[in-house]
Structures are given as structure tokens and as C-alpha cells.
A and B are shown apart, each in its own frame.
Chain A
Amino acid sequence: MSQRKESGADPVKEDMSKSRQDKFEILIQGLSADLYRYAYWMCRNRVQAEELVQETYLRAWKGIDSLRDADSAKSWLFTIFRREFARQFERRRLDVQEMDDLGELPARQAAHDTSTEAFVLRRALAELPEDYREPLLQQVLGGFSCDEIADTLGISASAVMTRLFRARKQMRDLIGDDARQIKGVAT
């Protein structure tokens, strides 16, 4: 099952009437890990992901007075990220294929899932077209609803549902292909 976070237990949804620095600190502590992972899967490069997250937070800090509703904090931050990603992508013409450091991931941290299955899943996720990968990331990793994803992406909820359906269908197909290949090599 998709692991959505319960809104009542979300520290980000604490009182947003605090000082600017306190609000910003809540955003950092509550959302920076999710945002980094989202950024990583968008550009598939650790350095670029960190740079994007830092820049996103700087922009969030400058505009934090406009954040009044705690419930919308996450989608607000992710929307800022998407704008920053689009801006930097346009400016630098990032070639994510050249920068892809997906293969380095397992070696970096012992606690990280290094199983063959995890490798196959990551590879399949990386191979998904961006239009499908992004809503899937927002739903599975970010815990967003279809309506929230639609708002963030600026498309209709029905378009989001179509993309999510195709994303999961392609993931199942890709995983099936990879699993068959691995089986073929092993035998």
C-alpha cells in the first residue's frame, strides 16, 4: 500500500503562526529529506539534487511570509522546487543521462538497500518517462493526493490519474523484463 503520512502526526502541520525562522526550521526538519529524495529522482545526480534543494529553500525563505496555511506547506515547497528545477534545467541544459550516478548509490551507505530487487526497481524508475515518474514520486514518496499532484504539476486530476496508471503499469512491465534478464544471466 502507498504509505501516506497521517496529517495529524505531521510536524510540518504545526502552528504556522510562529516566527519566520521557526517556520523555516519546521520546513527544514520536516521536509528536507523528502525534498532531497524527490530532487534526486528528478535529476538523478546527488550534487545537482543538493544544489537544487538548497536553492529551493533559499527561495522558500525569501517568500515564507506568503505561507499561511500549514496544510499546504509541503505542496508549496515542492512547487517552488519544480520552478527552480525548470529554471536550472533551462539554464544549464542538464543532460541527466550523462550525470546519472544511480549506479554509485548502493556503495555509498551500508544501511541503504543493496538488494538486486532494489537495484532493478531503481533502474526501472529511472527508465520511466519523466511525465510518469514525477507524479509517481509525488504520490509514493511525497504522499500527495491526486488533486495535490494536479495542482503542483498544473494539469487536471484526470490527467494525473492516467499518468499514475501508466507509470505503475510500465513499472510492472519493466521489472518483469529486468527480472527475466537477471534470471537468464543466472541460469
Chain B
Amino acid sequence: MNCLEYRRACLTDPASKNEAFIAHRNECGDCARFADEVGVLDGKLLDAMRVPVPDDLQTRIRLRQVIGEEQSRRVTRPWQFALAASIFLSVALSGFFGYQVYSSNRYVDQLRVAVIEHVKEEPQFLTVQDDSSGQRFGQLLAAFGGELVQDIAPVRLAEVCALRKNYKPIVHTVVSGKTGPVTILYVQGEPVEKVMPFRDQQFSGMLVPAGQGNLAVIGEPDEPLQPLVDKLQQGIVWKI
């Protein structure tokens, strides 16, 4: 490889592992300096290419995934529903219900743990006061199939987050309660059968079936949550 060939190859692929390319660099001081210059330029170029990535890009990708799946379900053909229903019935007849009860309880337990863990992982959200959150809460609910028809409570924060349980996007809202901030999470998945209270040492909460998922309402132990749950049930209309 001569100097001209080397420089051409260097401008094509400065990181080339070609033996002749590496050998020429080791033998020719001028070409080694040229390669260093190209390498420096590539490094600077990489820095220049690294434009800031939006903080919530990953969350938005997950949200689009959920919305895309929802739209796909809506255009499913009737015969596909019939086929799915017959398969389900066959499985049910073979005694699957017992397992369903077991897995349903397990699912609820996991959900309770996951929502409390999520609140504890985002303590900064409890102190945020963003005046534009009321409108954003309505927009986020709409993305998940809910329409806000009545005010629930003063909304201090509304964001899309991902639950560690399955990394699926959730709506994370914080409102002002009687004794302090109350977190409301909307998590898509199997709705629970009825409103289910839960608590740990730090928080008390309620799981509320809503649309194609559940609302988890979580506050401090002495926070009266039932009035807020009532408002949520009356103030959001879900498109199923």
C-alpha cells in the first residue's frame, strides 16, 4: 500500500483493521500524522452529531406502542373475535378457571407492590407544582382512552412514566389531598374486580378498576381516599 492508497483508505474507514493499512501506518510517519488528524476530526464529528436526546423519548416510544396496540385491537375482524372466543371457551372447559383465580390474586398482589414501589422511586414528584398539569392530565388520559368530564382535584403534576413491573407506560398524576399530596397512577392491564384497599408502613392506597386497566390512588396513611375515588369514578368516562 502506498501513501496515496493509504490516505484514501483512511478517509474511507479510519478504524480499518486491514493488515496492509495498519502496516503502512506503522512505517510512514507522515501518513500516521494524517491518520491522527482524521481520527481527531472523527472524534469531534461524533461529539457534534450527539445532539441532545429528549428526556422522555423512551417513555413516548412506549406510549406509542400502547396506543398502536390499542388501535390494532380496534380493527380486529369479527371472525377473529369469534375464533378467539371459541378458543377461550375450550380452554375454560378444560378447567382453566382455577388457575385464573390463582393468577388473578397474584396479579393484584404484584400490582399493589409495583405501584407503591413506583411512588417511592419518584419522591420528587410529590413536591412538584406545575400549573399546566390539569390540562396535561386530561390529554394523557385521552391517550389511554379516558375522558375527563369533571374536575377531580387540583392537579400538581401529570407525566407519563414506566412501571418497573413490565416497563409499560403509565399516567403518573399527583393531586392535592386533604393531608398532603395524593398520587394517582393509571396502569393498563386486567382491571381488578372491585375497589381494593391496600397499605404499607408509609402509604395507604386503593386499586380502582378503570377502562382497560386500574387507577391506583395512593396517599399518606391518614388521607381520606374514598372521596377522591368517588370523584375519579364519576369524573372520568372510559371508552372501552
Contacts and interface: CB of A to CB of B under 8 A. Distances in A.
B47 A118 contact: yes
B43 interface: yes
Nearest to B61: A57
Nearest to A2: B15
Interface in B148-190: 166-168
Given A1-B39, A61-B65, A125 B15 contact: no
B48 A118 contact: yes
Interface residues of B, number: 35
B50 A54 contact: no
Q: How large is the interface on A (under 10, 10 to 19, 20 to 34, 35 or more residues)?
A: 35 or more
B73 to A, nearest CB: 13
A40 B11 CA distance: 24
Interface stretch (A8-16, A29-37, A67-75, A80-88): A29-37
Given A1-B42, A24-B65, A169-B11, A36 B48 contact: no
User: Chain B: interface secondary structure?
Assistant: helix
Contacts of A141: 46, 49-50
Interface in B41-55: 41-54
A157 to B, nearest CB: 10
Interface of A: 1-4, 21, 24-25, 28-29, 32-33, 36-37, 40-41, 46, 50, 53-55, 57-58, 61-62, 105, 108-109, 111-113, 117-118, 121-122, 125, 136-137, 139-141, 146, 161, 164-165, 168-169, 171-172, 175
